[in-house]
Amino acid sequence: MIEALLSVLPTREAPTDADDADSHGEADDGDEGRDGGEAARDTDRVSVDYDPAEADGTETVPEIPEIHQTVVTPSSIEPEPNAVRTGDQWARTLWTGEYPDRPRDGLFETLYSTAATRRTDISLHLTPRDTTATLDTLENTIEDLEADREYLEEKRKAGARGVAKDLEDYQALYDALRNTSMSAFDVSMYLAVQGDSPDDLNADGVTNTARQSPTNLTPVTPRWTQLDAFVSASPVGVDKLNESLDTTTPMLAGAVGAMFPFVAGAFAEPGIEYGTYALNESPLILDRFERETGYCAMVIGQLGAGKSFSTKLQLLRRAMYDQDTVIIMLDPLGGFAGVNGALGGERITVGGTRGLNPLELRATPADVLQDVPDLDPWAEQLSWVLTFFETFFEHVAANPLGDRKQTLRRAVQEAYERQGITKDPSTHDNESPTVRDVIAVLEDLLDSPEQFGYATDGEQEKVRGDAQTLLTDLRPSFREDGDLANLAQRTSFDLDSSVLYLDLHQEEGATGRSETSLMMQVLFNAVYERAKGTDKRVVFAIDEAHYLLNDATSLEFLETAVRHSRHYDLSLQFITQTGGEFALTPEAKTIADLCSLTLIHRVQEETDTLAEWFGLSEREVNWVRTAKAGDEEEGFSEALLGIDEEGWFPLRVRASEFEVDQIDPADG
């Protein structure tokens, strides 16, 4: 029914009064004054063509039923042998000739939710049967079958076995009706496949889906009676085809019950809509901060699948749902400007000369330290700083850290100690050292390793050698005019605004993948450190997170951050692309496993990997493979949402006109 209902509801392409009223309702939450102004302007635009002076007395204002008729019916209906044309659309209606013997609960789920039936109306006509009359008919049928069987058995015909089987079925039906409170129905079922042209009608796809297990239906296309079939499938509610053909099949109530989609529970709790459940279009509403296993989310999908859009929609809805949530966005491609503007956020363009200190450490709140005894902020910080350097040496200096790691670790520890920072959490409020301080320590190490406790000649020689090459690699990038000079300075921006957009937009386009990875790491850490300090809930969305997740060196650090994020009321959302140059990495899997929400948009190339990673069923894999990529024209995308401890839900993600305007402003 859904498609048919949608087609009569006002759409974005053809705005009507009702549509306007809708978007005003939503705007009400935000800006009252502006809304009032628009309403006034709307009235100015209204004009009426009817001029009483020119009326000749035959014209009348349409009656309400006539107006309704124009809303619910197509402008014209033309029957063809195999289809019906309704205005701009085409429909081919299939009738269900046969049903499975033993219907399983939810046997139509695939039929309701696969891509092939996306534009198919499914209609069931159910007429209760009078039990006594049905029993009489069944008695007659059973007697006939018994006679047939006796005759065939006497003649030793093979057909006797088939008849015996039918007889058993009818007897079982008879017993169930007679001895239990079970009632029977006459059922007919239609599938109206819609399309924009006769070629666009995917009747074969729908037929195949209907034939497959567990649905096991046999659909038939009634030729030359398409109009009657179409009426039977329409919301009019009349089984028109049944008047000329017997279209019904008797069924017990249990079988009828199994056909309904509502047996599968949708998910709804106070929160925001993540999409509508594809099985029955009911909204899937949830609050990420209510998940027991953590608040992090992973969004996966190929280029253009709708990942960024659905994330922005979630952020917008989150902000409307709870204005206290701090929202932070990180994106190397500049894509969050619209939603950031709509939320009145601060935009910080990262790069250039603005200081950003990778060594920065922030104090962990006392209550968190108390609640989580095994938390070790010092070890975490050291691990992060070494990750940062490892990435730098590997990708920027192109000389992996290797066995120089211990020497560097010693130098880093010393740099913190010189600022009075140690393992003791109460020292973490002190001003953090910078890469320049580490360079100063390395110079001292080179001069006099013995003062750092390296006792033997061998040790001293090794440490001198390490310090020498470390300095050679570090200095060019971190000197005053070096390419990473901004990373050698104190951080010169706060992340105090309640909405913040870290725009890692690479203006010249000259910045390579490894620099982007490094900057993403540093920014990730900076936000993470700050999220620790605030009492508020923080949603931190990281777009193009494959730059973070394609690098094994950062895995340990990211893993720890994700594991501990819950203690800081921090929800990390990683958006990662698959396909093309970005293969799904083992790092992405490790992080996804730690996330309580996984949203998989359209993926074609690597569905087998996803199936294996997440234990997806064939049906779920198929949904992902055929999911609709984001599309402004169609106004929705499709995805599969995995909620920890709840299961997987096929979704359609749809934004209201108001929301679309906020996410992707036309002037943006």
Ligand X SMILES: Nc1ncnc2c1ncn2[C@@H]1O[C@H](COP(=O)(O)OP(=O)(O)O)[C@@H](O)[C@H]1O
Residues that bind ligand X (CB under 6 A): 301, 303-309, 601, 630-632, 635-637, 653-655, 664
Tell me whether residue 37 or residue 665 sits nearer to Mg ion (CB atom).
665
Tell me whether residue 304 or residue 351 sits nearer to ligand X (CB atom).
304
Among ligand X, Mg ion, none, what binds residue 303 when CB lies within 5 to 8 Å by partner kind?
ligand X
Distance of closest approach, residue 543 Cβ to Mg ion, in angstroms: 6
For the record, the structure tokens of 254 come out as 């249990």
Contacts of 15 (CB under 8 A, 6+ apart): none
Distance of closest approach, residue 581 Cβ to Mg ion, in angstroms: 15
User: DSSP character for 393?
Assistant: I
Rounded distance between C-alpha atoms, residue 210 and residue 110, angstroms: 8
Distance of closest approach, residue 612 Cβ to ligand X, in angstroms: 22
Among ligand X, Mg ion, none, what binds residue 250 when CB lies within 5 to 8 Å by partner kind?
none
Among Mg ion, ligand X, none, what binds residue 306 when CB lies within 5 to 8 Å by partner kind?
ligand X
Beta strand ranges found along 21-83 (DSSP E): 77-79
Among Mg ion, ligand X, none, what binds residue 631 when CB lies within 5 to 8 Å by partner kind?
ligand X
598 near Mg ion, rule: CB under 5 A: no
Distance of closest approach, residue 19 Cβ to ligand X, in angstroms: 16
Tell me whether residue 437 or residue 638 sits nearer to ligand X (CB atom).
638
Among Mg ion, ligand X, none, what binds residue 650 when CB lies within 5 to 8 Å by partner kind?
none
Binding mask 296-315 toward Mg ion (x if CB under 5 A, else -) reads ------------x-------
Distance of closest approach, residue 664 Cβ to ligand X, in angstroms: 5
Evaluated on CA atoms 154, 159, 165, 169, the torsion sign reads negative
Rounded distance between C-alpha atoms, residue 568 and residue 547, angstroms: 24
Query: For residue 365, which of 292, 423, 428, 290 has the smallest C-alpha distance?
Result: 428
Rounded distance between C-alpha atoms, residue 287 and residue 271, angstroms: 4
Among ligand X, Mg ion, none, what binds residue 339 when CB lies within 5 to 8 Å by partner kind?
none
Tell me whether residue 201 or residue 588 sits nearer to Mg ion (CB atom).
588
Rounded distance between C-alpha atoms, residue 657 and residue 340, angstroms: 17
Residue 292 contacts residue 645 (beta carbons within 8 Å): yes
Tell me whether residue 358 or residue 635 sits nearer to ligand X (CB atom).
635
- HEC readout, 481-512: CCCCHHHHCCCCCCCCCCEEEEECCCCCCCCC
Residue with tokens 């605004």: 497
Residue with tokens 């936000």: 527
Distance of closest approach, residue 640 Cβ to Mg ion, in angstroms: 18
Q: How far is CA 206 from the centre of its chain?
A: 25
Rounded distance between C-alpha atoms, residue 411 and residue 122, angstroms: 70
Tell me whether residue 308 or residue 596 sits nearer to Mg ion (CB atom).
308
Among ligand X, Mg ion, none, what binds residue 214 when CB lies within 5 to 8 Å by partner kind?
none
Tell me whether residue 331 or residue 437 sits nearer to Mg ion (CB atom).
331
Distance of closest approach, residue 641 Cβ to ligand X, in angstroms: 13
Q: Three-state DSSP class for 361?
A: coil
Report the residue number whose CB is nearest to ligand X: 630
Convert 272-303 to b/e letters by CB count within 10 Å (16 or more is b).
bbbbbbbbebebbbbebbebeebbbbbbbbbe
Residue 568 contacts residue 294 (beta carbons within 8 Å): no
Distance of closest approach, residue 577 Cβ to Mg ion, in angstroms: 7
Distance of closest approach, residue 254 Cβ to ligand X, in angstroms: 38
Q: Which residues pair with 273 in a beta bridge?
A: 285
Tell me whether residue 232 or residue 578 sits nearer to Mg ion (CB atom).
578
Tell me whether residue 157 or residue 505 sits nearer to ligand X (CB atom).
505
Which residues are at the interface with Mg ion (CB under 5 A)?
Answer: 308
